[in-house]
Structure 1
Amino acid sequence: MDDISTGSLLVILVVLLLISAYFSGSETGMMSINRYRLRHLVQQQHAGAARVQYLLDRPDRLISLILIGNNLVNIAASAVATILCMRWFGDAGVLIATFGLTLVILIVSEVTPKTIAALHPERIAFPSSLLLRPLLTVMYPLVLLVNVVTNGFMRCLGVRPDAARANDSLNSDELRTVVNEAGNLIPTSHQEMLVSILDLEKVTVEDVMIPRNDIIGIDINNDWKYIVKQLAQGQHTRLLLYRGDIDDAIGFLHARDVMRLMTKNQFEADKSILVRAARDIYYIPEGTPLNVQLLKFQRRKERIGLVVDEYGDIQGLVTLEDILEEIVGDFTTSMNPAPSETTQPQPDGSFLVEGSANLRELNKEMNWEFPTDGPKTLSGLIVERLGDIPDNQLSLRIGGYPVEIIEVSDTMIKTLRVLPEYYRPPLLTKDDN
């Protein structure tokens, strides 16, 4: 080293620092790159992405290669800096070189390149892979030796390096976060639909079904003229045919089948035609998640079914359109009334709400937070909390919202007043948080 000029040593030190910066930036760029975008680019036959993917398939080898190179360069830089400082400052140069080189490496070879690589991982990783891949081949024996030792040490600590890729996947909650943070990359309407698809597994058929009291059907025991009038004025293509009571259901009538049979047998049209036209009923167990039911509809080529409880009693009706509305929003043919049809804003900022209003729909449209893990309607929620059908003018608080009961029938609450969160009535007869 004594034969090498000071100027040459300075050039060597600068080169070593730049090489160290290259290794530091490469490490951060490789580890910060978006793995899912990387896979997409590989499928698009992007050469740089393919090289990076090859290196990241074994991250232990990549990290070993980078650290071997980085440590060799830093140690060499330390030796050169020490010689230079001893030439300039004598024995004190050792101490000066230690602290001075540490500061220079932190700024020039660590913080700066790593920050740039973290901000622009693809711009750093793709070019770096041009050198790292052949360098891995050249230094493979040394890298392999380091891997054998380090992997053995990690196994002693209970870490399996070969299982690193097992966790390289997203669960539904993480995927939901990715969709929500996509920003302008995905239109808002598309984001809402994608999130709705992910939420199907959290929603059951009871949440979207038409309650049995609201099911529109045809009672075969009615007068024939009245039945014909129902068929002629009906707004739905599928109607439930039953005998006296919905629990004694016969089948579903499709308007097309009824019209075809009535046209064919126009001189002898009677109730027997409807019975012959009725299709078999598809029963759906309550508690079925919507994502499961959507697949069942698809596999069975069904579009409508009756929801039954564990005792076989009919609870409501679900159609394919009800599930699709959870994804794309309401259709104009929806059987369920929209929350805007069941809520009436008042001048004082409160809302008059029908007791039969669906809680999930209210929360979604009004941005409220009523609990939805129990009853499906606002009336049912209050009755469950109170344990009885209350009297008029009773007030309580549910989910943080003051609620005033306005009108009650013998079996259910018909109308309620929901007050804004900021409003506090002077007297609450029951605090139900």
Structure 2
Amino acid sequence: MDNTMIIYIIGLLLLLMSSGFFSGSETALTAVSRARMQALISQGNKRAIRVGKLHQKMEKVISTVLLGNTLVNALTAVLMSTLLTNTFGDTGAMSAVGAITATAFLYIFSEVLPKTFAINNADRFSLAVAPMVQFFVNLTYPITHVTHLICSGFLRLFGLKIVNHLGAEERMEELRGAIQLHAGSVEEIQDTGQMLHSILDLDDVPVSDIMVHRRNMTMLDADLPIEEIVNQALSSPHTRIPIYRGDPDNVVGVLHAKALLRALHANQWKFEGLDIVALAGKPWFIPDSTDLLAQLEAFRSRHEHFAIVVDEYGALMGIVTLEDILEEIVGDISDEHDIKVTGVTSEADGSYVMDGTVTIRDLNREFGWQLPDEHASTIAGLVLYEARRIPMVGQIFVFYGFRFEILDRRRNQITRVRLTPPDSETKKGDAATATPDAASNSETMVSVRIEPKKPGGGTTGAAA
């Protein structure tokens, strides 16, 4: 083997390695974890800082890598053909063999092998190659810049525009995707993911979805005898209690238990002379359309924990507290004075019997379901929205794969529902499928099962 042959072989190896470098660098810099790089940047890692700078101009990085890869691959094909021609003679067959051989070597050793390694070691690989990639980016800047201008101008001819930076909505979706991507089976990771999702959803959830409804509120009538008011206040598990006069919509103050106890102590534990309304703080009214993020910020700025929710007409809707918003993030917070009423009972057949007032968000959080909550906040509201009618007791519906059986109704309000998840419903296999009502906005097929009339009872089927 003469010196020329050795030079050709060494040149081929160098070209293959160069092509592998460009291919692996492109894959690593594209697949690198930006979150880990940001953590290293905050620690002052110089290579991570360089990777971050490369990410800010990825279009130039890609142009540089493609330029280098194209040049190296072309030289590899030429050198491989020259080497085979000098060895076996100048024939057409040798040219074809040279092209095939060069393609095979480039495919295996310069594409698949380095990219496989890079995709499985993206962080380490990108940190290692960042200085060299930065050098080539600076070296080829005149060529890549002109290329970028030509491509941008060509795309504008077709009305297309290159967007280098993501908007707020795209970044939010990217963040949601990152949270979902790293969600695993470990309970701690699932809990953390749920809390992060809840934080991102705060500005999409109105206070009306989490407030304590007025029918479940504890309120004090200012016109009652002082002794009865004090007894009701002290027997309540709540620290802050709204006070009304004449009509529940006429809230005149919010009584704090500590203020009441201090007044009783100052009055030597006597009821005479106490003015409950004077002891109460000024009520804070908020509209029911206020989102949780805005309300959380308002709680912080006003240094308050309690607000009264009213509708557009000023009618009392309910109350919302700081604890209610925090529970939307971290889950249920129970203390020794809480009255825990979940309203959900698990059945042996895999179904759940629940109150109609149970919120969809709580069910999704607790069981990992994906029931929609855009048009209704409670399970009863979801049934009403999808059924497009007020159902009768015994009627059975199937929405989004879940089976809803109406167990109880008071006037026009659904009070108890039996809900069977898709897994349990599949085992039964007895629900008939029908096309959804044309008036429904749901894209999910809605199934309704018609049940026969029970002896001594009303019709249990749902009219189509």
With normalisation by structure 2, the TM-score equals: 0.80
Deviations 1:244-269 (A, max 9, x none): 33112111001112222333344874
Match of residue 461 from structure 2: 430
Going from structure 1 to structure 2, the CA distance change for 1:62 and 1:224 (only over 3 Å counts) comes to: closer
Residues in 1 aligned to 2:19 and 2:123: alpha-carbon distance in whole angstroms: 19
SS at match of 1:111: helix
Q: In 2, are the aligned partners of 1:241 and 1:253 still within 8 Å (CA)? A: yes
Going from structure 1 to structure 2, the CA distance change for 1:4 and 1:191 (only over 3 Å counts) comes to: same
Match of residue 321 from structure 1: 323
Going from structure 1 to structure 2, the CA distance change for 1:298 and 1:156 (only over 3 Å counts) comes to: same
Match of residue 28 from structure 1: 27
Deviation at 1:295, TM superposition (A): 1.5
Going from structure 1 to structure 2, the CA distance change for 1:123 and 1:353 (only over 3 Å counts) comes to: closer
Deviation at 1:18, TM superposition (A): 1.6
Deviations 1:302-332 (A, max 9, x none): 2111211111111111111111111112122
For 1:130-169, list aligned pairs within 5 A. Answer: 130-161=131-162, 163-166=163-166
Going from structure 1 to structure 2, the CA distance change for 1:415 and 1:51 (only over 3 Å counts) comes to: closer
Residues in 2 aligned to 1:121 and 1:169: alpha-carbon distance in whole angstroms: 27
Residues in 1 aligned to 2:236 and 2:398: alpha-carbon distance in whole angstroms: 39
Going from structure 1 to structure 2, the CA distance change for 1:219 and 1:197 (only over 3 Å counts) comes to: same
Q: In 2, are the aligned partners of 1:284 and 1:305 still within 8 Å (CA)? A: yes
Q: In 2, are the aligned partners of 1:28 and 1:117 still within 8 Å (CA)? A: yes
Going from structure 1 to structure 2, the CA distance change for 1:139 and 1:220 (only over 3 Å counts) comes to: closer
Going from structure 1 to structure 2, the CA distance change for 1:358 and 1:244 (only over 3 Å counts) comes to: farther
Amino acid at match of 1:74: N
Q: In 1, are the aligned partners of 2:237 and 2:338 still within 8 Å (CA)? A: no
Match of residue 46 from structure 2: 47
SS at match of 1:5: helix
Q: In 2, are the aligned partners of 1:258 and 1:277 still within 8 Å (CA)? A: yes
Deviations 1:114-171 (A, max 9, x none): 222222122322222232333344444444444444444344454545x413459854
Residues in 2 aligned to 1:155 and 1:287: alpha-carbon distance in whole angstroms: 43
> Are 1:396 and 2:419 an aligned pair?
no
For 1:336-415, list aligned pairs within 5 A. Answer: 337-339=340-342, 342-346=343-347, 351-362=352-363, 364-365=365-366, 372-374=373-375, 376-378=377-379, 385=387, 387=389, 390=392, 393-397=393-397, 399=399, 400-406=402-408, 408-409=409-410, 412-415=413-416
Match of residue 7 from structure 1: 6
Match of residue 182 from structure 1: 182
Q: In 1, are the aligned partners of 2:396 and 2:450 still within 8 Å (CA)? A: no
Match of residue 111 from structure 2: 110
Deviation at 1:193, TM superposition (A): 1.5
> Are 1:98 and 2:132 an aligned pair?
no
Q: In 2, are the aligned partners of 1:351 and 1:418 still within 8 Å (CA)? A: yes
Match of residue 223 from structure 1: 225
SS at match of 2:21: helix
Deviations 1:89-114 (A, max 9, x none): 32132221112111111111122112
Amino acid at match of 1:177: G
Residues in 2 aligned to 1:311 and 1:168: alpha-carbon distance in whole angstroms: 34
Q: In 1, are the aligned partners of 2:450 and 2:462 still within 8 Å (CA)? A: no
Residues in 2 aligned to 1:411 and 1:150: alpha-carbon distance in whole angstroms: 63
Q: In 2, are the aligned partners of 1:87 and 1:93 still within 8 Å (CA)? A: no
Residues in 1 aligned to 2:450 and 2:134: alpha-carbon distance in whole angstroms: 74
Going from structure 1 to structure 2, the CA distance change for 1:225 and 1:328 (only over 3 Å counts) comes to: same
Deviations 1:56-89 (A, max 9, x none): 3322332333233323222222222222211233
Match of residue 193 from structure 1: 195
Q: In 2, are the aligned partners of 1:205 and 1:289 still within 8 Å (CA)? A: yes
For 1:77-88, list aligned pairs within 5 A. Answer: 77-88=76-87
Q: In 1, are the aligned partners of 2:202 and 2:293 still within 8 Å (CA)? A: yes
SS at match of 1:317: strand
Segments of 5+ residues of structure 2 without an aligned counterpart are: 431-448, 453-459
The two structures, once aligned, show a CA RMSD in angstroms of 3.3
SS at match of 2:165: helix
Going from structure 1 to structure 2, the CA distance change for 1:283 and 1:335 (only over 3 Å counts) comes to: farther
Larger mean Cα displacement after TM superposition, 300-309 or 178-187: 178-187
Residues in 2 aligned to 1:168 and 1:82: alpha-carbon distance in whole angstroms: 52
Q: In 2, are the aligned partners of 1:397 and 1:432 still within 8 Å (CA)? A: no
Going from structure 1 to structure 2, the CA distance change for 1:174 and 1:263 (only over 3 Å counts) comes to: same
> Are 1:127 and 2:151 an aligned pair?
no
Residues in 1 aligned to 2:98 and 2:391: alpha-carbon distance in whole angstroms: 84
Amino acid at match of 1:243: R
Match of residue 446 from structure 2: none
Deviations 1:285-309 (A, max 9, x none): 1122222221222222221112111
Going from structure 1 to structure 2, the CA distance change for 1:82 and 1:192 (only over 3 Å counts) comes to: same
Going from structure 1 to structure 2, the CA distance change for 1:432 and 1:9 (only over 3 Å counts) comes to: farther
| Identical pairs, percent | 30
Residues in 2 aligned to 1:78 and 1:389: alpha-carbon distance in whole angstroms: 74
Q: In 2, are the aligned partners of 1:262 and 1:273 still within 8 Å (CA)? A: no
SS at match of 2:249: strand
Deviation at 1:206, TM superposition (A): 1.7
Deviations 1:183-212 (A, max 9, x none): 469733322221221222332212211111
Match of residue 274 from structure 1: 276
Residues in 2 aligned to 1:218 and 1:176: alpha-carbon distance in whole angstroms: 44
For 1:68-83, list aligned pairs within 5 A. Answer: 68-83=67-82
Amino acid at match of 2:95: V
Larger mean Cα displacement after TM superposition, 64-73 or 322-331: 64-73
Larger mean Cα displacement after TM superposition, 258-267 or 113-122: 258-267
